């Protein structure tokens, strides 16, 4: 299924080289101000900007509202937004179809959909669809910052902590350039201002829902909360966060803001590991379906040296989607937004 969320429910659709990609949000409250301009910052961030390493195809990524917006506000009806695909070069992909690209979904998609899949540019598997996630995130973030009860002020910030194994982004990218190869990275997301008690024990734990959404982002290979994997090497007395006051503030935050599946009022902290871009400039070997032989092969098309550079805004987006849904379930975002 291409949908996520129980009340604030996002559906994404589209293919890399089809007419457009898009999304529908069902369950978005009425009255939220929403305009094209609200999307610019995040859709631009997703493009990866001027940094070396990101040379994605240039799409304008102007949101086209197809339903659910009237007089610059959400109506409460399903909100459908399209982004046109203009800058596509499908010919590149037609040529190389016989050789499934290593690290990409070409092979598995073909097996699953019997050859009917739109394979051009990865089709529905393409990172192009993250623009739909980002757009849903824009709406979710606006909900999170709409006047909630009292002085709650939720803030989501994802940032790069590591590229190509280096803490310095420039250095990590240079490594890739020097090696004529691609690199990965690690992104950390921090959310402050959350109320206590979002989530449920077991299946709908905050970690379950967030990881579900985070692994929807292509190239994510791992996720950890708070201290994460290193927690497995700590003593219990070290890892436990001592509660300090009646609001649940803890002395340390090894738990990353989630205990028993529920937010505990401290900053929510988690990290995602992003694999190196599969489309590396290096020659690789892969199978040629037509001949059944292993061939040397190098990927055509425009690609990023380091896809991780573009992930922070997508990570924020899926986080906002999860939190908007949880806040609505807890009745902390009203059904009609009024100011």
- Closest by CA position to 319, among listed 201, 193, 150, 221: 193
Q: Minimum distance between the CB of residue 2 and its own copies, rounded to whole angstroms?
A: 5
Name which of 57 and 204 has its Cβ closer to its own copies: 204
Q: Minimum distance between the CB of residue 280 and its own copies, rounded to whole angstroms?
A: 3
- Closest by CA position to 216, among listed 307, 130, 293, 288: 130
Contact 192, 265 (CB under 8 A): no
Name which of 156 and 160 has its Cβ closer to its own copies: 160
Name which of 41 and 175 has its Cβ closer to its own copies: 175
DSSP H helical segments within 99-156, as ranges?
106-113, 130-145
Q: Minimum distance between the CB of residue 52 and its own copies, rounded to whole angstroms?
A: 16
Q: Which tokens belong to 96?
A: 């190389």
Name which of 43 and 132 has its Cβ closer to its own copies: 132
Name which of 151 and 202 has its Cβ closer to its own copies: 202
Q: Minimum distance between the CB of residue 34 and its own copies, rounded to whole angstroms?
A: 11
Spatial CB neighbours of 97, under 8 Å, sequence gap ≥ 6: 106, 119
Distance between CA atoms of residues 73 and 244, nearest Å: 42
Q: Minimum distance between the CB of residue 218 and its own copies, rounded to whole angstroms?
A: 7
Q: Minimum distance between the CB of residue 133 and its own copies, rounded to whole angstroms?
A: 8
Dihedrals phi, psi of 131, to nearest 5 degrees = -65, -30
- Closest by CA position to 21, among listed 68, 86, 77, 92: 86
Task: Provide the greatest CA pair distance for the chain.
Answer: 69
Q: Minimum distance between the CB of residue 153 and its own copies, rounded to whole angstroms?
A: 19
Distance between CA atoms of residues 68 and 45, nearest Å: 25
Name which of 228 and 267 has its Cβ closer to its own copies: 228
Name which of 138 and 223 has its Cβ closer to its own copies: 223
Distance between CA atoms of residues 236 and 254, nearest Å: 11
Name which of 156 and 308 has its Cβ closer to its own copies: 308
Contact 27, 90 (CB under 8 A): no
Q: Which tokens belong to 154?
A: 């939720």
Q: Minimum distance between the CB of residue 114 and its own copies, rounded to whole angstroms?
A: 4
Contact 81, 26 (CB under 8 A): no
In 3-state terms, what secondary structure has residue 25? strand
Distance between CA atoms of residues 204 and 7, nearest Å: 14
Q: Which tokens belong to 336?
A: 């009609």
């Amino acid at each position: 299924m291409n949908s996520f969320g129980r009340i604030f429910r996002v559906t994404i659709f589209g293919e890399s080289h089809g007419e457009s990609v898009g999304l529908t949000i069902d369950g978005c409250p009425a009255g939220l101000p929403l305009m094209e301009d609200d999307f610019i910052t995040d859709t631009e961030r997703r493009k990866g900007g001027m940094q070396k390493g990101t040379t994605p195809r240039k799409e304008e990524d102007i949101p086209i509202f197809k339903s659910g917006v009237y007089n610059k506000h959400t109506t409460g009806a399903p909100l459908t937004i399209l982004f046109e695909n203009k800058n596509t070069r499908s010919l590149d992909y037609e040529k190389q179809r016989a050789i499934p690209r290593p690290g990409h979904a070409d092979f598995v998609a073909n097996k699953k959909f019997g050859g009917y899949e739109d394979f051009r540019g990865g089709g529905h598997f393409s990172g192009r669809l993250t623009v739909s996630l980002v757009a849903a995130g824009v709406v979710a973030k606006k909900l999170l910052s709409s006047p909630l009860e009292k002085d709650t002020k939720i803030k989501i910030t994802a940032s790069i902590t590591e590229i190509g194994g280096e803490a310095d982004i420039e250095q990590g990218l240079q490594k890739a350039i020097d090696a004529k190869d691609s690199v990965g990275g690690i992104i950390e997301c921090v959310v402050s201002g959350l109320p206590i008690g979002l989530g449920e024990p077991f299946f709908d734990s905050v970690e379950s829902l967030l990881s579900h959404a985070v692994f929807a982002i292509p190239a994510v290979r791992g996720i950890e909360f708070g201290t994460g994997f290193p927690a497995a090497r700590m003593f219990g007395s070290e890892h436990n966060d001592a509660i300090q006051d009646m609001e649940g503030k803890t002395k340390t935050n090894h738990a990353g803001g989630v205990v028993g599946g529920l937010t505990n009022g401290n900053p929510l902290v988690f990290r995602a590991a992003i694999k190196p871009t599969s489309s590396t400039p290096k020659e690789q070997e892969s199978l040629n379906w037509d001949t059944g032989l292993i061939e040397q092969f190098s990927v055509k098309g425009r690609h990023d040296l380091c896809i991780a550079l573009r992930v922070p805004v997508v990570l924020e987006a899926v986080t906002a989607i999860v939190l908007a849904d949880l806040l609505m379930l807890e009745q902390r975002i009203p059904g009609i937004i009024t100011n």
